Amino acid sequence: MSGKTGKRYFWVAYGLSTLLLSFGSNLATAWDLPQRMEDPLFTRPPVLDRGAILPGDHQVVVCSGNEPLNHPLTLSDAVDLALCRNPQVHAAWAAIKVQAGAVGEARAAYLPTATATLSQLHTRTEFPGVPEANSSVNGHTIYGGLTWRIFDFGAREGNNEAARLLLVAAMLAHDAALQKTLSNVVSAYFEATSARAAFGARTESRQLADDALAATVRRERRGAAGQSDTLQASTATAKAQLAEQRAAADYNKSLAMLAYAIGLSGGAFVELADMPEDEPGNAVGDLKGWLDEAMARHPAIAAARAQLEAAQAKVRQVRGEGRPTVDLTGNIYQNGYPNQGLQRTRSTVTTVGISLTIPLFEGFARTYKVVGANAEVDQRAAQFEDTEHQVLTDVVKTHADATSALANLTASERLLNSARSAVRSSENRYAKGAADVLELLSTQSALSDALQERVRCLSEWRSTRLRLMASAGVLAGDQIHAIANR
C-alpha cells in the first residue's frame, strides 16, 4: 500500500472516529449519560444523594450557608450547625465516597477489558553497500484486544464482598461520627446553660447580700445594730459580688467553647434560648435493656463488625488469587504487530482463545500474603471486642450517672425550697430584731449553696439523660427536638 493511500486511510478513520464521538456526545446528553457514566456500576449509596440522616431518625440533616444567628440558639440549632460544620463528619462523609469507588473497582473485575491502538508509521530500511535494496514504507497499524476472566476460585468474589462490607463500615463510621458530634455538642450546650444558671444563682445571691447590707445599714442608723454587723454584711456583699463576676467569666468561657464546638467563627455572639426546668419524669430504665440496645444499634459496634467481616472476605480473595484462572482472549492485528515495523503487504491477523493460568511458584509470597490476611482478621477481631467493651463500659457508667442524677434532682428541689423558706424566716426575724446578722448571712449562704446544687443537679440530669441515649446509639434529632421543646 502506498504512502498516500495509508495517509488517506488514517485521516478517514480519524474523521469517522470524530464523527462517532460527536454523535455519541449528543446522544449521551439527550439520555443524561454523563451523570450515569459517573457511576455506571451503581455503587453510589443512596445516602450520598439524599443527605445524612441521624441513626434512628427520619429527617435529613439540611445544611444551609454560613448565615449569622439572628435569634437565640436552641439545642436543636446547635446540633444542626455542628453536624454541618464538624470536620470529623466531613472526613467520614468523604470516606464513604472513597469506599464507593473501591466497590466500583471490585465490580469492574467481572467485566471484560478492551484496548485499541491506531498508529501512523513511516518505516525505512537501509542496507549499507547495497543502496538499491533500501526501502521506505508509509502506512498504519491497528491493534485491538479483548480479555475477559470467566472463572477463578473466589478471588473476585472475596474482593467484591470485602469492598462492599468496607462501604457498609464507612457509612456506619459516619453514623458514629454523627453520634459523637451530637454527644459533644449536647454536653457543650448544657455546660453553657448550666453556667448561665450558675451566673443567675450568683446574681440572686448578690442581690440578697445587697438587701441584707441595706437592712443592716438602716438598723445601724436607728441604733438597733452595731457597726460590726454592717461590716460583716458588707464583707458578705463583696464576697457575693466576686462570686458573681467569676460566674460571669465562666459563662462567657462556656459560650466561647460552645461556639467552637458547633463551628461558628471566632468572636461570634451566641445567645442561648431559655429552657424549661425539667421534671424528674420516668425512671432511667433497666441497665440490661440499654446494653442490649447498644449491642444492636450502636454504629461504632456495627462498623467494627463490618470491618471484621471484610477482613475475613479479604482472606478468601488472597487465597483465590493464588489459584488457577480462566480467561477468554481475542486480538486483531492489522499491518503488523505492536512495537514492530510496518509490513510491506497489507495483512490482518485475528486470534481467539481461552487461557488457563496456573500459578506454580511465587517464591512463597502467597503463603505470607495469606498469613498477613489472617493476622488482619485477628486484629479486626480484637478491635471489635475493644470497641464493644468501650461502648458497653460507657453505657454502664452513664446509666449509673443518670440514675444518681435522677435521685439528686428531687433532693435538690427539696433543699432549695427549704433554703428559701429559711431565708424568708430569717429576714423576718432580723427585721423584727429577733435574729442577728450572722443568722441572716448564714441562711443566705445556705440558699446560695442550694441554688448551686439545683443548677448542678439539673445539668447532670439533662446531660446524663442524653449521654445515655448517645452511648447506647439511640440518640436522634427528633429526640433532641422533643427534649429541647418540653
- Could you read off the pLDDT tens digit of each residue along the chain, which spans 486 residues? 444 444 444 444 444 444 444 444 454 444 454 555 677 777 888 877 777 666 555 566 666 555 556 778 888 788 888 888 888 888 888 889 889 888 988 988 888 988 888 887 777 777 787 777 777 777 778 888 889 888 888 888 888 899 999 999 998 888 888 888 888 888 888 888 888 888 888 888 888 888 878 878 877 777 766 777 788 888 888 988 998 899 999 999 998 888 888 877 666 678 887 766 555 555 688 888 899 988 988 889 999 999 999 999 999 989 988 889 898 888 888 877 777 777 777 788 888 999 888 888 888 888 899 999 999 999 999 999 999 999 999 999 999 988 888 888 888 888 988 988 988 888 787 777 767 777 877 888 888 888 888 878 887 888 788 888 888 887 765 556 555 544
Q: Are 426 and 447 in contact (CB under 8 A)?
A: no
CA separation for the pair 68, 269 (Å, rounded) = 9
pLDDT at 25: 47
pLDDT at 141: 81
CA 129 to chain centre: 77
Q: Are 454 and 412 in contact (CB under 8 A)?
A: yes
Cell numbers standing for residue 341: 515495523
Residue listed under C-alpha cell 459533644: 184
Residue listed under C-alpha cell 467553647: 257
CA separation for the pair 486, 422 (Å, rounded) = 31
User: Three-state SS across the chain?
Assistant: CCHHHHHHHHHHHHHHHHHHHHHHHHHHHHCCHHHHHCCCCCCCCCHHHHCCECCCCCCECCCCCCCCCCCCECHHHHHHHHHHHCHHHHHHHHHHHHHHHHHHHHHHCCCCEEEEEEEEEEEEECCCCCHHHCEEEEEEEEEEEEEEEEECCCHHHHHHHHHHHHHHHHHHHHHHHHHHHHHHHHHHHHHHHHHHHHHHHHHHHHHHHHHHHHHHHHHHHHCCCCHHHHHHHHHHHHHHHHHHHHHHHHHHHHHHHHHHHCCCCCCCCCCECCCCCCCCCCCCCCHHHHHHHHHHHCHHHHHHHHHHHHHHHHHHHHHHHCCCEEEEEEEEEECCCCCCCCCCCCCEEEEEEEEEECCCCCCCHHHHHHHHHHHHHHHHHHHHHHHHHHHHHHHHHHHHHHHHHHHHHHHHHHHHHHHHHHHHHHHHHHHCCCCCHHHHHHHHHHHHHHHHHHHHHHHHHHHHHHHHHHHCCCCCHHHHHHHHCC
Amino acid letter for position 468:
L
Residue listed under C-alpha cell 535494496: 133
Q: Are 444 and 422 in contact (CB under 8 A)?
A: no
Q: Are 69 and 77 in contact (CB under 8 A)?
A: yes
Q: φ and ψ at 339, to 5 degrees? A: 65, 25
pLDDT at 224: 67
CA separation for the pair 311, 199 (Å, rounded) = 53
pLDDT at 3: 45
Query: Taking the CB of residue 204, how many other CB atoms lie within 10 A of it?
Result: 15
pLDDT at 225: 67
Cell numbers standing for residue 289: 435493656
CA separation for the pair 18, 447 (Å, rounded) = 88
Region of residue 267 (phi > 0: left; psi between -120 and 50: alpha; otherwise: beta): left
pLDDT at 30: 43
User: In the beta sheet, which residues pair with residue 203?
Assistant: none
Q: Are 3 and 335 in contact (CB under 8 A)?
A: no
**Distance of CA 438 to CAs 91, 319, 399, 428, 430, Å?**
60, 85, 42, 14, 10
CA separation for the pair 302, 388 (Å, rounded) = 9
Cell numbers standing for residue 442: 448564714
CA max distance for the chain: 141
pTM: 0.73
pLDDT at 14: 44
Cell numbers standing for residue 434: 429577733
Q: Strand pairing of 348-357 and 113-125?
A: unpaired
Burial 300-338 (b: 16+ CB within 10 A, else e): bbbbbbbbbbbbbbbbbbbbbbeeebebeeebebbbbee
